[in-house]
Structure 1
Amino acid sequence: MAVVGQSMRETGAFYIRRTLAGSPLYAATLRRYVRALVAHYSAPVEFFLEGTRSRSNKSLPPKYGMLSMTLMPYFAREVTDITVVPVNISYDRLIEQGLFAYEHLGVPKPKETTGGLLKALHRLNDHFGNIYINLGDPVSIREFIGGSQTSSEMLKPLDLQELTADEFRSVQDVGDYIVTRQQECTVVTISNLISIVLMESLMNNEVLSFEQVVEKIDWLIQVLRNLRASVFENDVKGSIERILVVHKSLMKLDENNRLRLVSSALMNVNSDVQKKMKGHILKAETMVNAIPIIQLQLYANPVLHYLVPPALIYVIVNRGVTNKEKLFEDYYKIRKMLRHEFFHLEKTEKVKFNEALQFCLRNGVVMLSSDSSGVVTSPYDSSGVVTSPYDCSGVVSSLYERGENVALCSLLQNAMVPALRTLLTCVEVMTQRNKCAHNEVLKLVQERAERARRHAYCLSLEAAANCVRGLRRAGALAARDSEQEVIYESVPDILEECRRLIASVLPETNFDFGNSNIVIFNQDLKAKL
């Protein structure tokens, strides 16, 4: 980009290729350059650990390439320590919220040019609200992974040195940990809060008055603070009024002072764009409401990593009375399938589960069943093999059932539905096709979700891709890399087991996201794409 590129370079930025594959000389030069910056210069190196923008506004699994280059001087003992500072950036309104929603539906991203930037400058006169930058506590690499060990790599010339297998595992541990620390730095904004309330209103097909919205957000703030979230809100009523100005194209108060979601313009996708679309060609009527609902979900997503653990516990218990061992087993399996959708550390999942279970018990989401007393379970099966994920001896096991806190149960259930419904749709497609290319799977998921009128977020190509990768991680899909793309093949027994589990915890609810939903304010606008 003319002018812009040079200006960025003059501030210290440097550009890298999107992939290093097939360019060994370039890769070696980049590694040496980053290594020199860290080892010999005082300027910090700032980069996005996830490797790309999150178009879903959720944390992505980290990429380890740049982090490996950055930590290499420590493993080579060129420096005694490296400090990593996680940073979270939260926005009241994303400048690209419309583009991101279209990309979720498969519309290709427009090419970035200097001319396009200049044409878009007038948009900066609009009201975008606040930006919240929260710096987490610095992490010392020396304290995190311990002292670096001497390896044979240190005997090689600098340009030929590589990370050992153990060192790369340490890099992965650092990357995974930093992403979770960055999640903990999330500042919950009023945009996040009002989006969660409005999304629940949509799913319940129940319109809320302004006073009800204020009351609901006040309650939601307390829930999130109990989950140790950082909520930067004091004047809730004033903040809601401000954010309704910021998001006037997405939500509004009607003549009766009730909060409504504003539908998008009726889009006629021309043939040139259709040829470039990455997914199924959706009907114009589908996109009218899918676009604003996906935009709304983008603002709800940053809060979900707080809600998912207790929400998952609730939907499992909601299907019927269960003991702790079975509860954790199903919880762990679903979390594994949704790891790309809701990134988390698997090694700390038992601790996270126990904390979430205690939250559910304290707040009436689940409760001890009246049948709990005297139920003895054994951690061994008939052949003497340990099967319990918790104990190594017979214990008196508590049984859990659904609690009576209706408001909180509804919130948690609605938080899980989009991801679980998308996951089940992916399973149904792969069960039907058995063998399918990656892009074809995503198209079929979109087509099935549109036909069945499922939650609009099920139309997201990114959400579907995350769920497919999760099924691969769970062993339900085997993958083979071809010259063009990944080919998936179902593992019938495991895929059917996943289907039964997901279907058993997914609530039997039918959401109406069409024009008959009273929460949606329909515009009679037409546009071309």
Structure 2
Amino acid sequence: MAGSSRPRGSIYRVINQQLLHLFRLWLRPTFINHEQTALALAQHAIPTNVRYILDSDSLADRLLLELGCEASRLPEPLTLDPNAPNAYFCLNHREGFWGRRSARGDARSTSLKVDPAIGDELATRLVPVSIYWGHQPDRALSLWKVLLSDQWASTSKFRKILCIALTRRHILVHFGDPLDVDELTNDLPSAALKTKRIHRLLRRHFKSQKQSIIGPDLSHRRTLLDELLAAPAVDAAIMTVAEASERPRHRVAAQAYRYASEIASDQSYRVIRFFSIILTWLWNRLYNGIEVSHLERVRAVSDNAEIVYVPCHRSHIDYLLLSYVLYHNGLALPHIAAGINLNLFLVGPLLRRAGAFFMRRSFKEDLLYKAVFDEYIHLLLSKGYSLEYFVEGGRSRTGGMLTPRPGMINMTLRGYYRDHHRDIQFVPVYFSYERVLEISSYLDERKGHQKKTESLRDLFGVFRYFKLDFGQVSVNFGEPISLEQFLSMRVDSDLEMIEPDKHKAICRELGHHIVQGINAAIPVNPTQILATLFVHAGHLEIPEERLRRQLRFLTTLIEADQISSIFDQSDAQIIDYFLSTSGAERQLRDGEPMITITPGGLIDMRYYSNSVTHLFVLPSLIANRLIQEPMIDPEPFFDQLTVLAPLLDAICFSKLAPSAGRINELLEIFDYKTEGQQVSSARVDSPLASDLIQIAGIIEPALKQIALACALLKVKPDLLDDLATINERIKTLTITTTAFNPEDLILTERLIQMLSQTQPINDRKAQDNANWIKPQAALATLISEAGQNDLQHLALDLIKENIQSAATTR
């Protein structure tokens, strides 16, 4: 890498030093990816081999680069030695006082060139550095906002001066992944070709990086709506509705425009900054901190794909929390799908300018609205916007994952079918709250109270929570799911030629895959583990010593993507932390400290316990098996787990993949040992062995749900045809929760569909080989005989009471 030195006079050095000192004192820039470990520079300790690349030659940019290098002790880009070579280069230079951008000036010392004649520099690593002055998308803005906000057009000297003076905290400096010059250019014969390739790669990097940070180049909202209404699909819907309703076309078109205006977001950087200030204040009042994990997974895919964030939905806070985290980590904000119920007076316009677009709960029958909404989603994806929507459809009232709704997934797929030149990456996100803001209203709804409609009063009601301790919030980004790869394994034909039934199956499978990814990304916190212990303890108080032991025991059983940093504290500190956030108390019983909880608090704990059920599926299955038969043969047991895995996956949305190694590992944790081909207890009086019943209870409701479905099909094999007639009766069952959970009905239907046989029911052999036979046999080793008999009687009563004319068999 070649670059000549240029003379630096004493005045130049003094000015540089003084400006750098001023920047240190005044500016508060955000540095992204600037640590040595992130840049993988720790093993490349030769400072002369590190070169920084700026998009444009600018004194202010160079000084910010110097500050970023100082912060992480990276090799310095600037030097006062007049004989030293440059440690930074620029792709473009400025001409004139106002800094007009120009690609000329290749003879300058800061112009990037590759010179193979300099052998010791062939291993040079180029670190591209992007600098954004008030990052936000380019759009129709007021003059003042144009002057202070970064845009796709280059930032002039005048705008930088204003930003330095007025928006000193809204400057972002992003260090890109290093490029190895030798590795990238060793197949080219000449320096000119090497230089050309490096320039091309860097230009591509700066362009994609800019889109991932400030978003795509936006047009005026009115222009966007006009483009939406001019789309062939919307125009065809307007014509169809006009003919069917016998209304003039212009009136139907006006209705379509009103729909588009109701739907479309209107992102405003000024409002986003307002939310940033308000939310920073709010989080500090409500929470002890926000712990963010695995954001690098988003950065790794954001340059080469459109991003669709698919978080779990536990609270209205979710809408704001993800955007807040992305904004403060230098990533483009998504456009967020929000229910029309949130389009409240005052609140709705603010949410719309923060990136929300509003959708009605159901619009299958409204052809015009559906066409406008479909086209809007396609337009967002095709223009490179990132999206955010909740595949569960609504907030979970149980704490567990809800069945994925196909609506938004369906529209995303159809948009991708039409335009798939860039991949779409679904990024699962899990919000883990130690205390959910709306927990009391959720419990009221599950007791049968009517759901309250959102109102402005609810917004101001948040102030009453300031006196409570809501603990910490954890935000974990899961493994991205590539839509391109997902479809390539399932579709052989042209995407636009996919048959409707095939498309529906893909929607269901993708939705299931997404919620599995969300569940896999859960950041586990102490509240969830301790809540699980209380829920399955069978009483309202636990000796503190036992609770500490069980806390660590359950933590060793799980394989989580992320564990809260609170677990790094001592057991005593974790218990004290739990007491401060949960409402539990420490009391003395005969001189022994007990941790107690109220009956109402136990109901609250069930919510948090449900959120981690999927993590204990395999340990709980093993515990159930050991309770029924302490001596087990691992090989048949493994086969039984394989039979039950897809059914448990349908309930818990877990990726249950039992392996002999993992089973043996858990058996050792349970203090069991292998004796020949069987497993038996090492010590009958072991404290860990006494906890089996408690751990077994975690998955027991799901096992009973599967057993009930099998029992119903045993009584009436063709139940699927008459399932609707017993739906209301199933609602009265309280197998999985203490109060009716609407998900129970959905899960029962899904299980019966999975277990229903496809052969004719009058074929005796078909009945003997029905899908429910093997699961029922596997469950016989996990559920007590008395429990199985109770479920058989319940199934028979359900059929007799609700399908009187059905032919039943015993």
- TM-score, normalised on structure 2? 0.46
C-alpha distance in 2 between matches for 1:138 and 1:336: 23
In structure 2, the partner of 1:76 is 418
Judging changes above 3 Å, is the alpha-carbon distance between structure 1 residues 171 and 438 closer, same or farther for their aligned structure 2 residues?
Answer: same
Judging changes above 3 Å, is the alpha-carbon distance between structure 1 residues 495 and 183 closer, same or farther for their aligned structure 2 residues?
Answer: closer
Q: Say which of 441, 465, 483 aligns to 2:745.
A: 465
Q: Which amino acid aligns with 2:658?
A: K
In structure 2, the partner of 1:214 is 548
Contact 2:436 2:470 in 1 (8 A): yes
Moved more, 458-467 or 80-89: 458-467
Q: Which amino acid aligns with 2:578?
A: I
- Percent identity reads 20
In structure 2, the partner of 1:187 is 523
- State whether structure 2 residue 331 is matched by structure 1 residue 21: no
Judging changes above 3 Å, is the alpha-carbon distance between structure 1 residues 432 and 114 closer, same or farther for their aligned structure 2 residues?
Answer: farther
In structure 2, the partner of 1:363 is 669
The CA deviation at 1:421 is 4.4
In structure 1, the partner of 2:563 is 230
- State whether structure 2 residue 30 is matched by structure 1 residue 30: no
Q: Over residues 121-141 of structure 1, what are the superposed CA-to-partner deviations in whole Å (9 max), with x where a residue is unaligned?
A: 423442211111111233333
Contact 1:62 1:176 in 2 (8 A): yes
Q: Say which of 103, 126, 139 aligns to 2:445.
A: 103
Q: Say which of 724, 733, 749 aligns to 1:445.
A: 733
The CA deviation at 1:369 is 5.5
- For these two proteins, the number of residue pairs brought into alignment is 420
- State whether structure 2 residue 635 is matched by structure 1 residue 352: no
C-alpha distance in 2 between matches for 1:192 and 1:167: 37
The CA deviation at 1:362 is 3.8
The CA deviation at 1:44 is 1.2
In structure 1, the partner of 2:268 is none
The CA deviation at 1:181 is 2.2
Judging changes above 3 Å, is the alpha-carbon distance between structure 1 residues 213 and 317 closer, same or farther for their aligned structure 2 residues?
Answer: closer
In structure 2, the partner of 1:57 is 399
In structure 1, the partner of 2:783 is 506
The CA deviation at 1:85 is 1.5
- State whether structure 2 residue 340 is matched by structure 1 residue 2: no
Judging changes above 3 Å, is the alpha-carbon distance between structure 1 residues 152 and 212 closer, same or farther for their aligned structure 2 residues?
Answer: closer
C-alpha distance in 1 between matches for 2:389 and 2:645: 28
C-alpha distance in 1 between matches for 2:744 and 2:493: 44
Contact 2:529 2:609 in 1 (8 A): yes
Q: Say which of 453, 474, 478 aligns to 1:136.
A: 478
SS at match of 2:530: helix
In structure 2, the partner of 1:406 is 689
Judging changes above 3 Å, is the alpha-carbon distance between structure 1 residues 467 and 166 closer, same or farther for their aligned structure 2 residues?
Answer: closer
Moved more, 10-19 or 55-64: 55-64
The CA deviation at 1:88 is 0.9
Q: Over residues 340-369 of structure 1, what are the superposed CA-to-partner deviations in whole Å (9 max), with x where a residue is unaligned?
A: 431135xxx5x4354642433443476546
SS at match of 1:14: strand
Judging changes above 3 Å, is the alpha-carbon distance between structure 1 residues 119 and 60 closer, same or farther for their aligned structure 2 residues?
Answer: closer
Q: Which amino acid aligns with 2:620?
A: A
The CA deviation at 1:445 is 1.5
5 Å-filtered alignment, 1:251-330, equals 251-256=584-589, 257-264=593-600, 292-320=601-629, 323=633, 326-330=636-640
Specify every segment of 5 or more residues in structure 2 that has no aligned partner in the other structure, as ranges: 1-343, 759-767, 788-810
Contact 2:642 2:658 in 1 (8 A): no
Judging changes above 3 Å, is the alpha-carbon distance between structure 1 residues 62 and 467 closer, same or farther for their aligned structure 2 residues?
Answer: closer
Q: Say which of 331, 334, 342 aligns to 2:652.
A: 342
Contact 2:409 2:507 in 1 (8 A): yes
- TM-score, normalised on structure 1? 0.67
Specify every segment of 5 or more residues in structure 1 that has no aligned partner in the other structure, as ranges: 155-161, 265-291, 373-398, 450-455, 479-490, 511-529
RMSD, matched Cα: 3.9
Q: Which amino acid aligns with 1:460?
A: F
Contact 2:540 2:598 in 1 (8 A): no
SS at match of 1:131: strand
C-alpha distance in 1 between matches for 2:363 and 2:347: 24
Judging changes above 3 Å, is the alpha-carbon distance between structure 1 residues 431 and 171 closer, same or farther for their aligned structure 2 residues?
Answer: closer
Contact 1:421 1:458 in 2 (8 A): no
Q: Say which of 534, 551, 558 aligns to 1:198.
A: 534
In structure 1, the partner of 2:223 is none
The CA deviation at 1:300 is 1.3
Q: Which amino acid aligns with 1:418?
A: P
